Amino acid sequence: LRHLSSVDSIVREVAAESFGASIRPLGQLAGGYILASDEEGLLLIDQRAAHERILFDRYRAQEAARSAESQHLLMPETFDLTPAQAAVFDQVVGELESYGFGMMRLSGRTVAIRSVPADLPAGEARSMLSEILNTLDAGRRTEARAVLREQIALALASRAAIKLRVTLAREKMSWLIESLLKTSSPTTCPHGGPTVLRLSARDIEKNFHHS
Ligand SMILES: [Zn+2]
């Protein structure tokens, strides 16, 4: 029992430069984390954070290349903006369209949504638009366009990322890891949190008193 207190916290954030070599998925934990190994030890990858990073980078790249993919709704959905949302809408409609939203302002504060960005649940078009407009409303109307575009990508990625608990087949785990490694910042989600934690073999040995 005396030894319990001497065990350090040994799960650590992973430095970008030490992430990427020989990663092998081992399995899944609690439906939300991929357990993997690399040359240094054990890795815990947060599925949702990793997927957010992948989607964020993809949306940013498509927006920059003006090649955003849209999915057309079978029936255009109408949406009534609040006065605050309507004010934001007029300022950001161009940015939203560059991400694949197809929208038309009807009479008053009513908007028709004809298409939404690819990868997003089409059935949630209204709530998605509402959420994005609310996010952008937080006193940031005068932000530079570049900041606005980044905020939209962040909102889209958060929305489209896989939900916390979902069972992944082995191939899907590998796909997620490989895709994550190709992003601009594989060790952080677009909100700045870690996508991966490591339990190193050295720390494990040390805490089992093998050193
Ligand atoms: Zn995040």
Q: Starting from the edge strand earliest in sequence, which strands make up the sheet with 102-105, in order?
A: 70-80, 110-117, 102-105
Query: Residue 3's pLDDT is what?
Result: 52
Q: What average pLDDT does the chain have? A: 88
Residue 61 neighbours by CB under 8 Å, 6+ apart: none
Spacing, Cα 111 to ligand 1 middle (Å): 29
Spacing, Cα 45 to ligand 1 middle (Å): 13
Spacing, Cα 136 to ligand 1 middle (Å): 17
Tell me the pLDDT tens digit for each residue of 64-76. 888 888 999 889 9
Spacing, Cα 197 to ligand 1 middle (Å): 15
Residue 193 pLDDT exceeds 90: yes
Question: The pTM is what?
Answer: 0.86
Burial class from Cβ neighbours inside 10 Å (0-12, 13-18, 19+) for residue 39 reads: exposed
Query: Residue 7's pLDDT is what?
Result: 59
Residue 55 pLDDT exceeds 70: yes
List alpha helices for the chain, DSSP H.
47-64, 83-98, 125-137, 145-160, 170-181, 201-207
Confidence of residue 182 (pLDDT cuts 50, 70, 90): very high
Residue 139 pLDDT exceeds 60: no
Mean pLDDT along residues 158-165: 82
Spacing, Cα 47 to ligand 1 middle (Å): 11
Confidence of residue 164 (pLDDT cuts 50, 70, 90): low
Mean pLDDT along residues 162-174: 86
Tell me the pLDDT tens digit for each residue of 5-45. 555 678 899 999 999 989 999 999 988 999 999 999 999 99
Return the ∠ at Cα 180 (arms to 192 and 19), rounded to 5°: 80
